[in-house]
Amino acid sequence: MALACPSPKPAPRAALPRVLIVEDEAIVAMDFQRRLTRLGYTVTGVAYDGQQAIQKAGETRPELILMDINLGKGLSGIETALIIQQHQNLPIIYVTANSDADTVRRAARSCPFGYVLKPFEDRELETAIQMGMVKHEVECRLRESERRFNATLTSMADGLVATDAGGRVEFFNPSAEAITGWPQSQVLGRRLTEVLRLHEDSGATTNTDFIVALGAQPMPPHGSRTARLERRDGLQVPVEYRAASIRDERHNLAGIVVSFSDIRERQRAEEAIRCAQLDLARAHAELTRKHEELQSFYHTVSHEVKTPLTSAREFVALVLESLAGPINQTQREYLSLALESCDQMRDCINDLLDATRLETGKMSVELRSASLGELASRVVAMLKPAAEHKHIHLSATVKPGVPEVAMDETRIAQVLSNLLNNAIKFTAAGGLVAVTVGLAPERSDWVLVTVADTGRGIPADQLDRIFDRLYQVKGPEEAGCGGLGLGLHICHELVTLHGGTIRVESAVGKGSTFYVTLPLLPAAAPGHAARPAEINRDVAGPARLPAAAAEFNLRKGL
């Protein structure tokens, strides 16, 4: 039953409680009223018997009742107090001339807030009222805290059982009902061992007589464990549970509390995650295996094809140069076409082999100090004939004062050659292709090479995929041009291996510019001390375009 409770804050001295006097003798009642008024209290009314008291307690809303125990005929003061307390949460102080054991015992049963024996001094009355108010306030707080505690335990998702010191169930929350299948009404007062039947995964039954287990050892309680809980209907559900002892202020065992939760959902989720992880691991292993198979297949095929292709090309070249006897014009034309096809096929195979090496980490670069400007000029010089053949103006500009960079010349020549071949391929007659080498404007410790053309450009929506493996823009120029869409991918990987960057800007119909940056030698970079161990210096460097790079000037059928 909800009882009204005044504010739990202690009443300030000025706000003395409003008092209802219940006294069957009118003269004594008047005396009480006079004394209370003198002491500063407000008297809400005077009742001369039990019935009047019940009525006036409801009507005059007092904050305290001064109750004579002996009210003559009808209800006694104690009976009246018990009835009022059923409806109103009021402190009641008994005033009586009787202090015999029986009266005191009867009064005690109604939980009075004070007991004053007649006759009494004003001081005694005042003290009794103040003590009663404090006691009442403390009780209110205790009830409030109990209500909160009860609401929390009742609404929690975990099942909760509390027992008394004898192991009999005293508290059983709704979640405990749901998990065990036992209604609270049938559980209260039963032994916990009858209600909470736990079985280990091994099948052994856990002794839920925690009173014995926890009674022997003081806190802390044992940690959480899992087991199978046998519900009332015999079904077993997996639970996680935890038991703790409740101790009184003398540290004696006052009961135990067991919390438990149904972990079916959690176990299902864990199982699903385990299965998904297994599937993923299997799929990953399978993919890795297939990938390795494919790599080794590419490698083998490329090697197997490259050897006969090289000798076929050599023989075609030999016949073309009339070293095997004179040939006529038609034969020359056919043989030239055959040679071109051999070169295209060789480029594809080389790209495949490079891409495979890069992916398997077998591509290494040997960094040496060298001039990027000189290397770019040499690559441009080698590709000049191909550009002229297409009536394209190809130029190289090396800005003054560009320091050397750490690079593998063969590989950087391969990158430049690839970019230039593409530029020439996708630029129409009369167009321009320009290479520039200088310090990067945004970072003075980087060298920037740009390869710009006035060709057909790359559609904006494909720019971010252009360096992907096997990616080609679909267009009429691509048809029959050979290539596998590996060139730019290889460029990207090789530049990255050098610690550099590559990116492109392009506009359809206007042209494209590729930007390659490479870090300067540590000693040359402003603010950096030389670290010779980092770079295998060979200052003299190769004077000519490396042999492997020379191969690229013939790439892509140019």
Binding site for ligand ADP (CB under 6 A): 418, 422-423, 426, 453, 455-456, 458, 466, 471-473, 478, 483-489, 512
CB of 480 to ligand ADP, least distance (A): 12
To ligand ADP, the closest distance from the beta carbon of 496 in angstroms equals: 15
- Return the number of the residue (33 or 512) whose C-beta is nearest ligand ADP: 512
Nearer CB in complex with ligand ADP: 221/459 = 459
Q: Which residue number, 180 or 422, has a Cβ lying nearer to ligand ADP? A: 422
* 28 or 473: CB nearest ligand ADP: 473
User: Shortest gap between Cβ of 478 and ligand ADP (angstroms)?
Assistant: 5
Establish whether the linkage from the previous residue to 220 is cis, with ω within 30° of 0.
Answer: yes
Considering the complex, state which of residue 90 and residue 502 has its C-beta at the smaller distance from ligand ADP.
Answer: 502
State in angstroms the smallest separation of the CB of 400 from ligand ADP: 27
And the tokens for 491?
């460029």
| Residue 557 CB partners (closer than 8 Å, separation 6+) | 340, 343, 344, 481, 482
CB of 144 within 8 A of CB of 7? no
- Min separation Cβ 406 and ligand ADP, Å: 25
How far is it, in rounded angstroms, from Cα 504 to Cα 516? 9
Distance, in Å, from the CA atom of 502 to the CA atom of 546, rounded to the nearest integer, reads 22
Contact 54, 80 (CB under 8 A): yes
Alpha helices in 360-440 (DSSP H): 372-389, 409-425
Distance in Å, CB of 362 to ligand ADP, minimum: 20
Nearer to ligand ADP, 317 or 497 (CB): 497
How many other CB atoms sit within 10 Å of the CB of residue 127?
14
Both tokens of 427, joined, read: 């630029």
Of the candidates 377, 501, 379, 523, the one whose C-alpha atom is nearest the C-alpha of residue 447 is: 501
Minimum CB distance to ligand ADP smaller for 378 or for 489: 489
Please state the φ and ψ torsions of residue 2, each to the nearest 5 degrees. Answer: -80, 125
**Least spacing, CB of residue 431 vs ligand ADP, in Å:** 11
- In 109-189, DSSP assigns E strands to 114-117, 159-163, 169-172
Q: Hey, what amino acid is at 220?
A: P
In what order do the strands lie in the sheet containing 18-22? 42-47, 18-22, 64-68, 92-96, 114-117
Say if strands 169-172 and 159-163 run parallel, antiparallel, or are unpaired. Answer: antiparallel
Question: Rounded to the nearest whole angstrom, what is the least distance from the CB of residue 392 to ligand ADP in the complex?
Answer: 12
Burial-class residue 265 by CB neighbours within 10 Å (0-12, 13-18, 19+): exposed
Neighbour-count burial for 451-489, b at 16+ CB within 10 Å, e otherwise: bbbbbbbbeeeebeebbeeeebbeeeeeeeebbbbbbbb
Q: How far apart are CA 107 and CA 71, in angstroms?
A: 14
Least separation in angstroms between residue 300's CB and ligand ADP is: 22
| Residue 204 DSSP code | P
Catalogue the long-range contacts made by 46-51 (C-beta closer than 8 Å, 24 or more residues apart). 46/20, 46/21, 46/22, 47/20, 47/21, 47/22, 47/23, 48/22, 48/23, 48/24, 49/24, 49/73, 49/74, 49/75, 50/22, 50/74, 50/75, 50/76, 50/77, 50/79, 50/80, 50/83, 51/75
Min dist. Cβ of residue 336 to ligand ADP (A): 22
Identify which of residues 317 and 504 has a Cβ nearer to ligand ADP in the complex: 504
Q: Which is nearer to ligand ADP, 346 or 489 (CB)?
A: 489
In whole angstroms, the minimum distance from the beta carbon of 277 to ligand ADP comes to: 37
Closer by beta carbon to ligand ADP, 107 or else 488: 488
Q: Compare residues 83 and 473 and give the one whose CB is closer to ligand ADP.
A: 473
